[in-house]
Structure 1
Amino acid sequence: MWRSRSNRDREMVVCIACGSSLSRADAREYDKEGDRWERHGKEFEHLCKACYRDLCHQPRKELEALLGDIEEHGLSQEEFLRRYLAEVEARYDPESREERER
C-alpha cells in the first residue's frame, strides 16, 4: 500500500543553495537532470522557497553535461569561466563552428 504523505512531509531537508534546514513540505524539489516529472529511481535535492524563486526556470538542455565536461577538481573560478565560455562558443556559435570546419 502507499505510504501516507504526511510522514514524508515531516522529514527535514537542507536547501542546496543557502544551506538552511526546513521541512520537506516547505521545500521545492530540484532535479539536476531537469525532468522532475520522471521520478523513477531518483532522489531529489531541495531548495527553500526563496532560493527556488531566484532560480532561472528556463530550459537548460545539455547544461549539466557541458558543466561536467569542463569541471575539474581544484579549478579556479577564472579558469572555469574561461573554459565555460570557450566551450559554449565551440558548441553553439555557428560562426565559430564554420571557422573550425574550414
Structure 2
Amino acid sequence: MWPSRNRTETVTCLACGAERPRTEAREYDKHGDRWDRENKTFEYLCKPCHGELCHLPRDELEDLLVELEAGGRDRDGFLASYLSTVEERYGPLEERER
C-alpha cells in the first residue's frame, strides 16, 4: 500500500537545524541530481535557507570538500586551505564581470 500523501512528515533543515513540515522544505541532493531517486536518501533545507543559497552549478565542489576534510577540521584552518586550493586550481578569487 502507498503511504498517504496527507501525512505531515517533519524534516530537519541541514543549514539551520529547524524542524519543519516536509511541505515547508526543499530537497537537497549533494550529488546535484535530485531527479534520480533510486536508492537515495535526501536531506532538506527550509524554504528561507534554500532561498539564500547560490543556485549556480557546483561541479567538483563536493569532491573538493571531502578532499579538504570539511567538517573534520577547525573552521579557520579549513577556510585557509579551501581558499588557497581554489585559487591554485581556478585562479584569483576576485569577482569577474560577465
Q: Give per-residue Cα distances to partners, 1:10-61, cap 9 Å, x unaligned.
A: 1111111111111112211011111111211111001111111011100000
TM-score, with structure 1 as normaliser: 0.78
RMSD: 2.1
Q: Larger Rg: 1 or 2?
A: 1
Query: In the alignment, does 2:17 pair up with 1:19?
Result: yes
TM-score, with structure 2 as normaliser: 0.80
Query: In the alignment, does 2:82 pair up with 1:66?
Result: no
Structure 2 residue ranges without an equivalent (≥5): 92-98
Residues 33-52 of structure 1: pairs in structure 2 closer than 5 A: 33-52=31-50
More helix by share: 1
Q: Distance in 2 between matches of 1:74 and 1:59?
A: 25
1:6 is paired with a residue whose SS is: coil
Structure 1 residue ranges without an equivalent (≥5): 94-102
Q: Name the counterpart of 1:32.
A: 30
TM-aligned CA deviation for residue 74 of structure 1: 4.8
Q: Find runs of 4+ consecutive structure 1 residues off by over 3 angstroms.
A: none
Q: In structure 1, what residue type is equivalent to 2:54?
A: C
